[in-house]
Amino acid sequence: MSSSSEPAAAKTVDAALTLLEEVATQRGATLSDLARATGMTTSKAFRLLGTLERRGYLERRSGKAFELGSKVLHLGHRAARGHPLVRAAAPVLDRLAERFGETVLLAVRVDLERVIVDSRDAKYGPQLSWPYDARLPLNSGALGLCLLAYAPDHVLRDLLAAGTTAFTDHTVVGAGDIGRALEAIRRDHVYVAKHSYLEGVYSVGSPVIGPDRNAIASLSVVGTVARLGPVEEDETRTAVRDAAAEIARVLA
């Protein structure tokens, strides 16, 4: 259906969801910020934002800035607890956290970012905790690169066109380096990134691959490089790869 023939009600819903997503991206955005970012008129954005605020999906906590409301938090927690991916992965995350004592992360791809949907905190310090819904570009470490390796072809093109961010000297950036990393992931189904997002931090990741050969999610163990010797690295690589494959089997 073309946009010109789309029912007016559907267009309104689409515009409201666009605003909601923009608020999630631009924390603390004002009416003028949101109208400018979405290309809407100020009056249209004002009407839709008012409806979302009345329904509890948005709040204005300070001045004129919009934030996600309690209704979004409630729905998000319900969705996370009940989602088949989170349910299937939960015992696997528990076992990895118990075995290695490190932070364990589960992420999915949202556009050009990886988003944390579940995690387990490390048993001993320093604590490397990532909050639920924490976002980073797909090139920022093992978790994102594993999602990128099994994403539709256009995702890599879009990422390169948007420009890749180098958080440290070890972040994988540029078509050549990213391409080599993705080849390694497709060959080994596991990837080790060191100092990629934070100096002194490693991540060992593996993709959870669906029947269509696209990544449903990715899984990683994260810790400090000082605690990852050659033996520990080999053990972690094998365990994370096997864990990701187990989640895929359960979901299938």
Residue-by-residue pLDDT tens, the chain, 252 positions: 445 556 888 989 999 999 988 888 777 789 999 999 999 999 999 999 999 999 988 988 777 889 888 787 667 766 666 688 999 999 999 999 999 999 999 999 988 999 888 899 888 765 665 655 677 899 989 999 999 999 999 999 999 999 898 888 899 999 999 999 999 999 999 999 998 888 899 999 999 999 999 999 999 999 989 888 899 999 999 999 999 999 999 998
Instruction: Report if residue 215 sits inside a domain.
Output: yes
Say how many C-beta atoms besides its own lie within 10 A of residue 224's C-beta.
15
Instruction: Report if residue 77 sits inside a domain.
Output: no
Three-state DSSP class for 198? coil
**pTM for the full model?**
0.76
Q: What are the structure tokens assigned to 130, written together?
A: 């990532």
Q: Give yes or no: residues 105 and 38 share one domain.
A: no
Domain with residue 171: its CATH number is: 3.30.450.40
Q: Give yes or no: residues 58 and 87 share one domain.
A: no
Q: Looking at residue 240, what is its pLDDT?
A: 97
Considering 37, 70, 103, which residue would you say is the last residue of a domain? 70
- Name the amino acid, one letter, at 43: S
Considering 70, 91, 119, which residue would you say is the last residue of a domain? 70
Q: Looking at residue 81, what is its pLDDT?
A: 64
Q: Looking at residue 252, what is its pLDDT?
A: 85
Domain with residue 21: its CATH number is: 1.10.10.10
Number of domains composing the chain: 2
Instruction: Report if residue 113 sits inside a domain.
Output: yes
Q: Give yes or no: residues 22 and 125 share one domain.
A: no
Q: Looking at residue 82, what is its pLDDT?
A: 65
Q: Give yes or no: residues 46 and 104 share one domain.
A: no
111 touches 85 (CB < 8 A): no
Measured torsion, CA atoms of residues 205, 206, 208, 211, in degrees rounded to the nearest 10: 150
Q: Containing domain of residue 54, as a range?
A: 3-70
Closest by Cα among 103, 89, 76 to 251:
89
Q: Give yes or no: residues 147 and 42 share one domain.
A: no
Instruction: Report if residue 78 sits inside a domain.
Output: no
Q: Give yes or no: residues 110 and 202 share one domain.
A: yes
* Whole-angstrom distance, CA of residue 145 vs CA of residue 151: 10
Q: What are the structure tokens assigned to 102, written together?
A: 């490190």
Q: Give yes or no: residues 147 and 244 share one domain.
A: yes
Q: Give yes or no: residues 243 and 140 share one domain.
A: yes
Q: Give yes or no: residues 127 and 10 share one domain.
A: no
Considering 40, 70, 100, which residue would you say is the last residue of a domain? 70
Q: Give yes or no: residues 33 and 150 share one domain.
A: no
